[in-house]
Amino acid sequence: MSTPEHSRSASRRTWVWVIVACVAVVAVVVGIILATRSDDGTAPTPTPTATPSASATPSASASATSSPTPTSSPTALAGCPPTDATTPQGADVVETVDVDGDGRADQAWITGGAERAFGVTTASGATFSAPIDSSSPERAAAVVQVIQQEEIPIALVDTGREALLLSLTDCAVTPVQNAQGQPYTFDRGFADQGTGVGCTDVDGVLQLAGLNAVSADDGATFDVTRTFVDLDAAGRHATNGEPEKVATGAGKDELVVTTAQEVSCGDLVAGNDGPVEPES
């Protein structure tokens, strides 16, 4: 039985549309492939998603680049400002503890003659001094130390008859005042009020104290009394505490007695560990 002509025509039209659709699909696929290929004909490597670092803190090298670390800390830059004054010619100069808080050792010195003086020259280049106000004819000797919880720098100047107490705060040498507003001094046996001065370690802090060694048997044995001396925070005024007996019947060669007969602070002894007035 033969197929009608109109049926054959419709069938041909259907196949034409199928072929056109297949060609279109192939064209789209080829276009996608070409679009996703790199210029050199190889497929591009997919870019991985960035993974957040475990810490937001920059690395050491990055920190060094963006914020250079200063070569010296603020503490290292502190200290007394330089002065035009310098250590006098002929003075006896000894390296001492840090006076101005910059972490570097400083120098203490004493000059001789009619205008003898005690002074300090810091590592930062500052020099400051004060006259040694004493009529004693003996050569002066000094020690420099830092005392109390406030870390107050002081000097003790032994003149033989007394020991002068000098404050070294604020880049100056200033006589410390007593309760009467007069220069504070420690008796060295000349006025029968004391024999020496020292610094006692109290809980790791040096505390200034006047000492008095008294003998009732012509120097065979001694009783020793200690009176702590407290300075205000500025190091300008001194106040006495209550006297306390620290030794009874001690031999003349015992440390408690020999220390009470000298000028010292901690392990430093005037005449051995500080400047001494040059001989005229």
10-residue mean pLDDT series, the chain (280 residues): 43 50 52 47 39 36 35 54 96 97 97 95 98 94 98 97 97 97 95 94 97 96 98 97 97 97 97 95
Q: Which residues contact 268 (CB under 8 A, 6 or more apart)?
A: 143, 144, 145, 274
* pLDDT value of position 217: 95
* pLDDT value of position 71: 36
Domain segments of the chain as ranges: 1-43, 78-269
* pLDDT value of position 60: 34
* pLDDT value of position 114: 87
Do the beta carbons of residue 196 and residue 211 sit within 8 Å? yes
- Single out the residue of 4, 261, 170, 3 nearest to residue 271, CA to CA: 261
Answer whether 0.75 is exceeded by the pTM: no
Q: Which residue has the tokens 């000797």?
A: 141
Q: Which residues contact 112 (CB under 8 A, 6 or more apart)?
A: 90, 139, 277, 278, 279, 280
Say how far apart CA 54 and CA 59 lie, in whole Å: 12
* pLDDT value of position 55: 36
Secondary structure letter of residue 149 according to DSSP:
T
Q: How far is CA 258 from the centre of its chain?
A: 34
List 120's β-bridge partners, or say none.
Answer: 108, 128
3-class SS of residue 5: helix
Type of residue numbered 158:
D
Say how far apart CA 152 and CA 175 lie, in whole Å: 14
Q: DSSP strand E in the chain: where?
A: 92-96, 106-110, 117-121, 127-131, 141-147, 152-158, 162-167, 174-175, 185-187, 196-202, 205-214, 221-231, 238-240, 244-251, 264-265, 268-269
Side-chain-side CA neighbours of 200 within 13 Å: the count stands at 16
* pLDDT value of position 234: 95
Do the beta carbons of residue 174 and residue 167 sit within 8 Å? yes
Alpha helices in the chain (DSSP H): 5-35, 60-66, 74-77, 255-259
Say how far apart CA 254 and CA 211 lie, in whole Å: 14
Q: Which residues contact 222 (CB under 8 A, 6 or more apart)?
A: 213, 214, 215, 247, 249, 250, 251, 252, 257, 260
